[in-house]
Structure 1
Amino acid sequence: MSQTAKINYLELPAKDLTTTKTFFTTVFDWQFTDYGPEYCAFNESAGLAGGFYLSGQNARVESGSVLVVFYSDDLLDTQTKVEQAGGQINQAVFAFPGGRRFHFLDPNGNEFAVWSE
Protein backbone atom coordinates (compact mmCIF):
# COMPACT_ATOMS: atom_id res chain seq x y z
CA MET A 1 0.00 0.00 0.00
CA SER A 2 1.32 3.43 -0.92
CA GLN A 3 2.15 5.78 1.94
CA THR A 4 2.28 8.88 -0.21
CA ALA A 5 -0.04 11.61 1.13
CA LYS A 6 -0.80 9.62 4.33
CA ILE A 7 -0.24 11.00 7.80
CA ASN A 8 3.00 9.35 8.81
CA TYR A 9 4.34 10.98 11.95
CA LEU A 10 3.22 13.24 14.77
CA GLU A 11 5.40 15.56 16.88
CA LEU A 12 4.29 17.07 20.17
CA PRO A 13 5.89 19.49 22.64
CA ALA A 14 7.01 18.35 26.08
CA LYS A 15 8.36 20.35 29.00
CA ASP A 16 9.81 17.21 30.62
CA LEU A 17 10.65 14.18 28.49
CA THR A 18 11.18 11.81 31.42
CA THR A 19 7.73 12.60 32.85
CA THR A 20 6.23 12.31 29.37
CA LYS A 21 7.70 8.85 28.78
CA THR A 22 6.57 7.65 32.22
CA PHE A 23 3.01 8.96 31.70
CA PHE A 24 2.45 7.46 28.24
CA THR A 25 4.13 4.17 29.15
CA THR A 26 1.96 3.85 32.28
CA VAL A 27 -1.35 4.82 30.66
CA PHE A 28 -1.02 3.50 27.09
CA ASP A 29 1.95 1.07 27.28
CA TRP A 30 3.98 3.04 24.74
CA GLN A 31 7.67 2.41 24.18
CA PHE A 32 10.18 5.18 23.48
CA THR A 33 13.53 5.63 21.80
CA ASP A 34 15.63 8.59 22.88
CA TYR A 35 17.38 10.71 20.26
CA GLY A 36 19.50 12.99 22.38
CA PRO A 37 18.42 15.00 25.41
CA GLU A 38 15.70 16.97 23.60
CA TYR A 39 13.75 14.33 21.64
CA CYS A 40 12.13 10.94 22.19
CA ALA A 41 10.12 8.92 19.68
CA PHE A 42 7.26 6.45 20.03
CA ASN A 43 6.55 3.77 17.44
CA GLU A 44 3.49 2.56 15.55
CA SER A 45 2.34 0.46 18.51
CA ALA A 46 0.80 3.79 19.62
CA GLY A 47 -1.31 3.72 16.43
CA LEU A 48 0.91 6.18 14.59
CA ALA A 49 4.63 6.85 15.00
CA GLY A 50 5.72 10.15 16.44
CA GLY A 51 7.77 11.89 19.05
CA PHE A 52 8.03 14.53 21.73
CA TYR A 53 10.43 17.44 21.48
CA LEU A 54 11.61 19.53 24.42
CA SER A 55 9.62 22.77 24.51
CA GLY A 56 8.05 25.17 26.95
CA GLN A 57 4.90 25.19 24.80
CA ASN A 58 1.92 22.85 24.87
CA ALA A 59 -0.73 21.70 22.42
CA ARG A 60 -4.24 22.75 23.49
CA VAL A 61 -7.44 23.01 21.48
CA GLU A 62 -8.11 26.48 22.91
CA SER A 63 -4.83 27.60 21.31
CA GLY A 64 -5.82 26.21 17.93
CA SER A 65 -3.96 22.91 18.20
CA VAL A 66 -5.13 19.70 16.61
CA LEU A 67 -6.78 17.29 19.07
CA VAL A 68 -5.22 13.83 19.23
CA VAL A 69 -7.96 11.33 20.09
CA PHE A 70 -7.35 7.82 21.48
CA TYR A 71 -9.80 4.92 21.37
CA SER A 72 -10.53 2.79 24.44
CA ASP A 73 -12.62 -0.34 24.96
CA ASP A 74 -13.09 0.77 28.57
CA LEU A 75 -13.42 4.55 28.85
CA LEU A 76 -13.63 4.74 32.65
CA ASP A 77 -10.64 2.43 33.13
CA THR A 78 -8.58 4.63 30.82
CA GLN A 79 -9.74 7.74 32.68
CA THR A 80 -8.61 6.18 35.97
CA LYS A 81 -5.19 5.36 34.46
CA VAL A 82 -4.83 8.92 33.17
CA GLU A 83 -5.61 10.38 36.60
CA GLN A 84 -3.41 7.93 38.51
CA ALA A 85 -0.46 8.69 36.18
CA GLY A 86 -0.71 12.44 36.80
CA GLY A 87 -2.99 13.53 33.98
CA GLN A 88 -5.77 16.04 34.60
CA ILE A 89 -9.31 15.59 33.28
CA ASN A 90 -10.26 18.92 31.72
CA GLN A 91 -13.54 17.79 30.18
CA ALA A 92 -15.58 15.09 31.94
CA VAL A 93 -17.10 12.18 30.02
CA PHE A 94 -19.81 13.38 27.66
CA ALA A 95 -21.91 11.84 24.91
CA PHE A 96 -21.46 12.74 21.25
CA PRO A 97 -22.84 11.15 18.06
CA GLY A 98 -21.12 7.76 17.95
CA GLY A 99 -20.16 7.35 21.58
CA ARG A 100 -18.75 9.00 24.67
CA ARG A 101 -15.45 10.70 25.40
CA PHE A 102 -13.42 12.78 27.82
CA HIS A 103 -10.54 15.21 27.40
CA PHE A 104 -7.39 15.28 29.51
CA LEU A 105 -4.14 17.19 29.91
CA ASP A 106 -0.93 15.22 30.10
CA PRO A 107 1.72 16.36 32.64
CA ASN A 108 3.02 18.83 30.00
CA GLY A 109 -0.38 20.49 29.60
CA ASN A 110 -1.00 18.94 26.16
CA GLU A 111 -4.68 18.20 25.53
CA PHE A 112 -5.88 14.79 24.32
CA ALA A 113 -9.22 12.99 24.18
CA VAL A 114 -10.29 9.38 24.65
CA TRP A 115 -13.48 7.97 23.13
CA SER A 116 -15.47 4.75 23.17
CA GLU A 117 -18.74 3.57 21.66
Structure 2
Amino acid sequence: MARLNYVELSVSSIETVRGLYEQAFGWQFTDYGPDYAAVEGGSTTIGFNADGDANAVAVLPLVAVDDLEAALDAVLRAGGHVRVPIFAYPGGRRFHAVDPAGHEIGVYQSTE
Protein backbone atom coordinates (compact mmCIF):
# COMPACT_ATOMS: atom_id res chain seq x y z
CA MET A 1 0.00 0.00 0.00
CA ALA A 2 1.29 3.45 -0.89
CA ARG A 3 1.73 5.84 2.02
CA LEU A 4 2.89 9.38 2.64
CA ASN A 5 5.99 9.10 4.77
CA TYR A 6 8.39 11.76 3.54
CA VAL A 7 8.23 15.55 3.31
CA GLU A 8 10.84 17.62 1.51
CA LEU A 9 11.62 21.29 2.15
CA SER A 10 13.64 23.55 -0.16
CA VAL A 11 16.32 25.55 1.66
CA SER A 12 19.10 27.94 0.65
CA SER A 13 21.65 25.73 2.42
CA ILE A 14 21.57 22.82 4.83
CA GLU A 15 23.58 24.78 7.39
CA THR A 16 20.98 27.56 7.33
CA VAL A 17 18.36 25.30 8.94
CA ARG A 18 20.42 22.63 10.69
CA GLY A 19 21.01 24.66 13.86
CA LEU A 20 17.36 25.51 14.39
CA TYR A 21 16.08 21.96 14.08
CA GLU A 22 18.94 20.44 16.10
CA GLN A 23 18.65 22.97 18.91
CA ALA A 24 14.88 23.41 19.01
CA PHE A 25 13.84 19.78 18.59
CA GLY A 26 16.98 17.70 19.18
CA TRP A 27 16.80 16.26 15.66
CA GLN A 28 19.82 14.45 14.20
CA PHE A 29 20.64 15.05 10.53
CA THR A 30 21.94 12.45 8.08
CA ASP A 31 23.88 14.12 5.27
CA TYR A 32 23.46 12.83 1.72
CA GLY A 33 26.01 15.06 0.03
CA PRO A 34 26.51 18.83 0.27
CA ASP A 35 23.00 19.73 -0.89
CA TYR A 36 20.77 17.21 0.88
CA ALA A 37 20.18 16.08 4.44
CA ALA A 38 17.33 14.33 6.21
CA VAL A 39 15.94 13.83 9.68
CA GLU A 40 15.00 10.16 9.91
CA GLY A 41 13.71 7.72 12.46
CA GLY A 42 10.14 8.87 13.05
CA SER A 43 7.02 7.90 11.16
CA THR A 44 7.74 10.67 8.63
CA THR A 45 11.17 11.62 7.32
CA ILE A 46 11.89 15.28 6.60
CA GLY A 47 14.35 16.02 3.81
CA PHE A 48 16.10 19.35 3.31
CA ASN A 49 17.02 20.05 -0.32
CA ALA A 50 19.47 22.85 -1.12
CA ASP A 51 19.83 21.74 -4.75
CA GLY A 52 16.61 23.28 -6.09
CA ASP A 53 14.69 26.52 -5.79
CA ALA A 54 15.59 27.82 -2.32
CA ASN A 55 12.74 30.32 -2.53
CA ALA A 56 10.08 27.66 -2.96
CA VAL A 57 7.65 27.76 -0.06
CA ALA A 58 5.65 24.70 -1.02
CA VAL A 59 6.20 21.46 0.82
CA LEU A 60 6.82 18.42 -1.37
CA PRO A 61 5.02 15.37 0.04
CA LEU A 62 6.51 12.06 -1.06
CA VAL A 63 4.56 8.82 -1.36
CA ALA A 64 6.36 5.48 -0.97
CA VAL A 65 5.33 2.72 -3.40
CA ASP A 66 6.47 -0.83 -4.14
CA ASP A 67 6.43 -0.47 -7.95
CA LEU A 68 7.42 2.93 -9.35
CA GLU A 69 6.47 2.22 -12.96
CA ALA A 70 3.03 0.93 -11.97
CA ALA A 71 2.51 4.03 -9.81
CA LEU A 72 3.49 6.28 -12.71
CA ASP A 73 0.99 4.55 -14.99
CA ALA A 74 -1.72 4.82 -12.32
CA VAL A 75 -1.07 8.55 -11.81
CA LEU A 76 -1.32 9.20 -15.55
CA ARG A 77 -4.51 7.15 -15.90
CA ALA A 78 -6.05 9.01 -12.96
CA GLY A 79 -5.55 12.43 -14.56
CA GLY A 80 -2.20 13.52 -13.17
CA HIS A 81 0.75 14.58 -15.28
CA VAL A 82 4.48 14.19 -14.84
CA ARG A 83 6.52 17.29 -14.01
CA VAL A 84 9.82 15.47 -13.36
CA PRO A 85 10.36 12.07 -15.04
CA ILE A 86 11.73 9.09 -13.11
CA PHE A 87 15.25 9.72 -11.84
CA ALA A 88 17.65 7.87 -9.55
CA TYR A 89 19.12 9.21 -6.33
CA PRO A 90 21.12 7.56 -3.54
CA GLY A 91 18.71 5.06 -2.01
CA GLY A 92 16.01 4.96 -4.64
CA ARG A 93 14.19 6.34 -7.66
CA ARG A 94 11.31 8.81 -7.94
CA PHE A 95 9.22 11.05 -10.15
CA HIS A 96 7.21 14.20 -9.50
CA ALA A 97 3.61 14.49 -10.61
CA VAL A 98 1.02 17.25 -10.54
CA ASP A 99 -2.56 16.43 -9.59
CA PRO A 100 -5.58 17.95 -11.36
CA ALA A 101 -5.75 20.74 -8.72
CA GLY A 102 -2.11 21.72 -9.36
CA HIS A 103 -0.47 20.14 -6.29
CA GLU A 104 2.94 18.60 -6.84
CA ILE A 105 3.77 15.27 -5.20
CA GLY A 106 6.79 13.03 -5.36
CA VAL A 107 6.40 9.28 -5.72
CA TYR A 108 9.35 7.08 -4.85
CA GLN A 109 10.57 3.52 -4.58
CA SER A 110 13.38 2.78 -2.18
CA THR A 111 16.25 0.52 -3.26
CA GLU A 112 17.21 -0.17 0.35
More strand, by proportion: 2
In the superposition, the TM-score normalised over structure 1's length comes to: 0.46
More helix, by proportion: 1
